[in-house]
Structure 1
Amino acid sequence: MYLEKRRKRWYAIHEIPEDVRKALGCGKRFFKSLETEDKTMAKRRAALLEVRWLHEIETARKGGTLDHVERDALYWRKVLADTPEDQREIVIGLIADEAQDRVEAVLDREGIVDERDPRAADLPVYDEAGRFFGIATGKIVRLTEHLDEWLATLDNEAKTKDMKRSTIQRFAEKFPYITDVRGKEVQRWVNALATEEEKKAKTIRRILSELRGYWAYLVSIEVVQSDHQPFIQLQLPKANGSKVGSESWVPFTPADVIHLLQAAEARKDDTLADLIRIAMWTGGRIESLCALKVNEVGDGFFDILHDKSEAGRRTVPIHSKLKPTMDRLLKNAKADGYVLPGLTENKYGDRSDAIGKRFGRLKTTLGFTEQHVFHSIRKTVATLLENAGVPENVAADIIGHDKPTMTYGLYSGGASLEVKRDALEKISYPSPG
């Protein structure tokens, strides 16, 4: 890099190595006016230009494309962030020059004399130049730019964090920049989730909750103005002529459960059959049952310690009809220490993923719809308990549900094991045909 004065103005010049000239699409050197007659000021501006030109040379050597607006803009934003306050205006001026250079290059290529030419009125390059300037100066920020740092602040399990990441990234496909996120457009996006993708209101509420959480973080780090709140007062639309969000999973009938059990046995899927047996006599969630360990089983009961809720971590009596299965499983327990052996963990440590998919294929083969899932067995047990006249608070202690009342929910230690055992023994299924 060297300086050269021409007609009272200083210019920066940098020789371009021969191996990158073709990739850069330039001649033998970079050449740019520093727009000053003062040599000290020229040196400051030239130093910034040198950093930029060296960056372009290195990028070209790595095979990168140099006409990518966002990549170049992000480079300038880094330069601006590292620039002392008293020199920021210089860098902003260079950014503005860069944006104008992009416009002029297109005007030259299109044979347009200058920007007053009416043919240039709606030329996209002006929008591109504005986007370049906005990104480089930090006025336009990608929605996902602070996603990783937000997730790092959360006290969630890896699976939950991945779900939130997926939500934000999917939303960013429609709204890539923070400035794109406006209430009216967000409402249309929500409408599409409900009507075109047929998402349930419960799912949409979760999505919006995750988006609000991330947006609140952006406000807290002053990336977003606190009065810009595009996720409030959104309406959940109707889909297929009914309110979105009513829980659509339905219980199996007791006969359905027996049918599923027999089908698993016919397929010689012994582990799935055992899983169905445990679920139909306990109402346990699939994740909790697959995580059940041998050392968590006692004399006539087992402790569910791996449930997603506080109420879900409970002691469950072993139904008399389930006892032979549990005795067999404990007797034949494998070295992995689980009641249901041989299940593989997914990346979140969940052992229920693969067997859950096997259950899904089984129930589909038997003609059940998406309204029936493994969780439907849990609903079957709850229905049987209700029909047997079991008090709701006792049923909640068996199933692992929160109790909403002050007396039972806040002050009670829960039903005793014997009370739960007596209640659970009241449920029954039809004999196999």
Structure 2
Amino acid sequence: MYLEKRRRRWYAIHEIPEDVREAIGRGKQFFKGLETEDKFIAKRRAALLEVEWLSLIEQARRGTRDHVERDAAYWRKVLKETPEEFREMTLDYIGDETQARVERAMERAGFTDYHQDGWQDLPEVEAAYRFNAIATGRLVKFDEHLDEWLATLSNEAKTKDMKKSTVLKFVEEFAYVQDVKAKDVQRWVNRLVADEGKKAKTIQRILSELRGYWSYLISIEVISRDHLPFEKLTLPQEGKRTAGSESWVPFTPADVVALLRAAEAKGDTQLADLIRLGMWTGGRIESLCALRVEEVREDSFDILHDKSQAGRRTVPIHSKLKTTMDRLIRDAGKDGFLLPGLSMNKYGDRSDAIGKRFGRLKTDLKFGPQHVFHSIRKTVATLLENAGVPENVAADIIGHDKPTMTYGLYSGGASLEVKREALERIDYPGYG
């Protein structure tokens, strides 16, 4: 594309590649007067023409003249970035392009007059009007405001990424805000269960995240407040569980000891230490890998890095963990972590690599997908229950929400001594 001045007026010129000249039918060049003597205005008008001409070249190469959504999305971007004084001019270009698309569709279908019946029903004419609606913002891409919504959230990065992934998955089915209707969302939910095997809890999370984004779109007046396609949906009933379909299950105490001995036999001391920490505390793998030396005292330690408020707690050091804990503190590395040297992912989680080592270990011992490191947490909960520990005390040790309003809302929690006495009740046969 280049500009040329003739008789004080500027013209835009673009060479047409030889391989598409016949298809386009314009000779060797695109050529159009820009109706201005001002070079600045000429450059802006030429830039808009260049989009159209490049689009025609690409369409000719692909054998089609309608790349509606891509072209419209570009013009939508141009319109949003156009200064207010040139906005009408840009809208005129969009209008001209819409009209040109309509006329091309009519010509190909044999219509010569707008008074003839039927041309309005041509698919290409409908596509032309959709192009206009997208380009002018009357149709809004569902994810157009996604990043600005995420920026308003106080969630940690991992949670934000999950929300973003949910919206982008939804966009695969519903490209535009105006495409979202309650009946279609219901059918989409039905398919998540029937085709993808999503559980009710997962669907509830997905819908909650979509409602959050939808509320933001309402708040910035992209959509009206009375359009609520995510409300009053029916969650399809899940079928009966088949054998092997249950969620994670606890290891037996003997299984945990076997895992520990296998890690020791492989010489993976760090993984063995992680298993010891898990089996005597019930901590989540992420929380245990985030433990710092400064958070450990003589007889207890603080878990400050947990995904829930209830998970941030003080845990007594079991008498059979004391030797391991003393050694870890004594041998701690310069990074200050109880389990030193673990790499950190983009979310600040240090458990990825060692978690995979645990996965390989348990697979070698013939444990299936229902057994994961979290299963040790379930083992501890089971041992506490079988030892007769009250549920509220077990919740304070494990880091769960309290089961009742009285304990959950009003209690300050079990004392360290009460938790210590409860935790000392658990044992693992053959640990020694």
In structure 2, C-alpha distance between the alignment counterparts of 1:188 and 1:267, rounded to whole Å: 51
Are residues 61 and 176 of structure 1, via their aligned partners in 2, closer, same or farther at CA, if it must alter by over 3 Å? closer
CA contact (8 A) 1:402 1:409 kept: yes
In structure 1, C-alpha distance between the alignment counterparts of 2:87 and 2:193, rounded to whole Å: 51
1:207 matched to which residue of 2? Answer: 206
Structural RMSD (CA): 3.7
Using structure 1 for the length normalisation, give the TM-score: 0.83
Which runs of no fewer than 5 residues in structure 2 stay unpaired? Answer: 60-64
Which whole-Å deviations, capped at 9, do the CAs of 1:253-285 have from their partners, x for residues lacking one? 212222222232233222222111111100011
Indicate the larger mover: 93-102 or 415-424: 93-102
2:167 matched to which residue of 1? Answer: 168
Q: Equivalent of 1:55, from 45, 48, 56?
A: 48
Question: May I ask how many residue pairs the two structures share in their alignment?
Answer: 413
Matches within 5 A, 1:24-423: 26-27=26-27, 28-31=29-32, 51-57=44-50, 65=58, 68-77=67-76, 80=79, 82=82, 88=88, 92=91, 94-108=93-107, 110=108, 112-114=110-112, 123-242=122-241, 248-423=247-422
Shift of 1:305: 1.1
In structure 2, C-alpha distance between the alignment counterparts of 1:240 and 1:301, rounded to whole Å: 45
| Identity, % of aligned positions | 62
Partner SS for 2:332:
coil
In structure 2, C-alpha distance between the alignment counterparts of 1:64 and 1:323, rounded to whole Å: 74
Shift of 1:97: 3.0
Amino acid at match of 1:170: K
In structure 2, C-alpha distance between the alignment counterparts of 1:290 and 1:171, rounded to whole Å: 34
Are residues 341 and 422 of structure 1, via their aligned partners in 2, closer, same or farther at CA, if it must alter by over 3 Å? same
Are residues 280 and 352 of structure 1, via their aligned partners in 2, closer, same or farther at CA, if it must alter by over 3 Å? same
In structure 1, C-alpha distance between the alignment counterparts of 2:53 and 2:324, rounded to whole Å: 67
CA contact (8 A) 2:55 2:71 kept: no
In structure 2, C-alpha distance between the alignment counterparts of 1:105 and 1:226, rounded to whole Å: 39
Are residues 431 and 221 of structure 1, via their aligned partners in 2, closer, same or farther at CA, if it must alter by over 3 Å? same
Are residues 63 and 164 of structure 1, via their aligned partners in 2, closer, same or farther at CA, if it must alter by over 3 Å? farther
In structure 2, C-alpha distance between the alignment counterparts of 1:413 and 1:49, rounded to whole Å: 72
Are residues 78 and 339 of structure 1, via their aligned partners in 2, closer, same or farther at CA, if it must alter by over 3 Å? closer
Q: Equivalent of 2:11, from 9, 14, 19?
A: 14
Shift of 1:19: 8.0
Partner SS for 1:349:
coil
Are residues 398 and 344 of structure 1, via their aligned partners in 2, closer, same or farther at CA, if it must alter by over 3 Å? same
Are residues 95 and 15 of structure 1, via their aligned partners in 2, closer, same or farther at CA, if it must alter by over 3 Å? closer
Partner SS for 2:172:
helix
In structure 2, C-alpha distance between the alignment counterparts of 1:115 and 1:289, rounded to whole Å: 76
Using structure 2 for the length normalisation, give the TM-score: 0.83
CA contact (8 A) 1:271 1:340 kept: yes
Partner SS for 2:197:
coil
Partner SS for 2:302:
strand
Which whole-Å deviations, capped at 9, do the CAs of 1:174-227 have from their partners, x for residues lacking one? 111112212222122212222222222222211111111001101111111222
